[in-house]
Amino acid sequence: MNFRRILLTRMKYIGDVVLTTPIIRALRDAYPDAHLAYLGDAKAVSLLRNNPYLDEIIPFDFKNDHFLYQASMYWRMFRGNYDLTIDLYSNPRSALMTFATRAMVRIGGDTRGRGKLYTIRVGDDGTLKSAILHHYQSLKPLGIAPSHTRTEIFLDDAEKAEASALLGSLGVDGSRPIVALHPGATWPNKVWLKEQFRGLIGRLLAESECDVLLSPGPNDGALMDYLREGYRNRVHPLPLLPVRELAAVLSHCRVFVANDCGPMHIGVAVGAKTIGIFGPEPPEIWFPYDRSAGHLPMFRKLECSPCRTTACHRQGAGFMECMTSITVNDVLHAVKERL
């Protein structure tokens, strides 16, 4: 079937949107003349700007609960004249919004009754697969097989130049390779301990020639101070940046060490050799990245892992063992191999 107007949506979360970029390219290959639009959270979909395979980005402001705003977004869906929608999120809101398009073909997950809002329902076959291959299941009814698996963020020269200027203002002149660290995460269970990050910083400064850059999350001020104590002239904290500016900065970094969080996926997509530290979540799903490109998940398999919970339920010596058993030496060795 030849579709003229296609709407793709992954409504939320930075990393999840980045993980859909291979799907964008696959759809463009299959439908080179179609109008391809993407609907999602305004912050996350800013990372899709300049993507040459998209014709339109539709940002959704989840903080705006005003009735008129919500109604205008549903009206925009109704008036979009889409003949194909693909919902890669399939929560109540995204299901209703794709239903509002009146598209002849609406593909989405067969979950909790919401499947009735789609014309084609995609079930999970129960096999362990990466997030990218999971998304490709939604393209299978269209006859599109997995092809592209590399994630992409497209930065322009001006964005890279602004990032370079920011680094220069922090005292990072590019004469040494940059190792960036992102020590935070939304879930407490996903955070490598601050003492381990501080130990890594000390060893890096003592044993290698590099500049160390710290990437904060919201409310990470005290953590930044702790990690810099005693190293203030050699460890450079970034301000809290919009995600697209963070992407531009990471594009200048040789190595990026991050917990399992959105910035980890950004680092991979802009070409930094990314080391992802995993605890409760399986890297087989959330780190589908090319080891030959320098990307590496750090993971210790325990009898309780992957628990996929937001806080560790173990007590005593076993508390957060999945994270504490990943040592400074482990991560340091991986960083040095990539410098």
Whichever domain contains 252, its CATH number is 3.40.50.2000
178-182 and 255-259: which strand pairing?
A: parallel
Distance in angstroms (rounded) separating the CA atoms of residues 155 and 164 = 13
Per-residue pLDDT, 330: 98
Question: C-alpha angle with apex 175: 172 to 180, nearest 5 degrees?
Answer: 50
120-122 and 105-109: which strand pairing?
A: parallel
Contact between 3 and 84 under an 8 Å Cβ cutoff? The reply is yes
Per-residue pLDDT, 124: 84
Per-residue pLDDT, 333: 98
Instruction: Mark whether 331 and 218 lie in a shared domain.
Output: yes
Report which of 114, 119, 100 is spatially closest to residue 1, judged by C-alpha positions: 119
Output 152-156 pairs: Cβ under 8 A, ≥24 positions apart.
152/21, 152/22, 152/25, 152/51, 152/269, 153/18, 153/21, 153/47, 153/247, 153/266, 153/269, 153/270, 154/49, 154/50, 154/51, 154/52, 155/50, 155/244, 155/247, 155/248, 155/251, 155/270, 156/50
Residue 332 has pLDDT above 90, yes or no: yes
Instruction: Mark whether 103 and 166 lie in a shared domain.
Output: no
Task: Quote the number of domains for the chain.
Answer: 2
Structural domain boundaries, residue 292: 157-338
Per-residue pLDDT, 233: 85
Instruction: Mark whether 200 and 324 lie in a shared domain.
Output: yes
Per-residue pLDDT, 317: 64
Instruction: Mark whether 111 and 220 lie in a shared domain.
Output: no
**17 assigned to some structural domain:** yes
Mean pLDDT of 314-337: 89
pLDDT tens, 258-313? 999 999 999 999 999 999 999 999 999 999 999 999 999 999 988 888 888 877 87
Greatest mean pLDDT among 6-10, 88-92, 221-225: 6-10
Q: Has this prediction a pTM greater than 0.85?
A: yes
**27 assigned to some structural domain:** yes
Helix 328-338 crosses helix 194-207 at what angle (to 10 degrees)?
40
Residue 58 has pLDDT above 80, yes or no: yes
Helix 262-269 crosses helix 243-250 at what angle (to 10 degrees)?
50
Nearest 10 degrees: Cα torsion 48, 53, 58, 60:
-40
pLDDT tens, 230-259? 998 889 999 999 999 999 999 999 999 999
**152 assigned to some structural domain:** no
pLDDT tens, 15-47? 999 999 999 999 999 999 999 999 999 999 999
Instruction: Mark whether 220 and 327 lie in a shared domain.
Output: yes
**204 assigned to some structural domain:** yes
pLDDT tens, 112-163? 778 899 999 998 888 899 999 999 999 999 999 999 999 999 999 999 999 9
Instruction: Mark whether 162 and 302 lie in a shared domain.
Output: yes
Residue 85 has pLDDT above 70, yes or no: yes
Last residue of a domain, one of 112, 142, 172: 142
Running DSSP on this structure, what letter comes out for residue 144? P
Per-residue pLDDT, 188: 81
Residue 316 has pLDDT above 80, yes or no: no
pLDDT tens, 168-222? 999 998 899 999 999 999 888 899 999 999 999 999 999 999 999 999 999 899 9
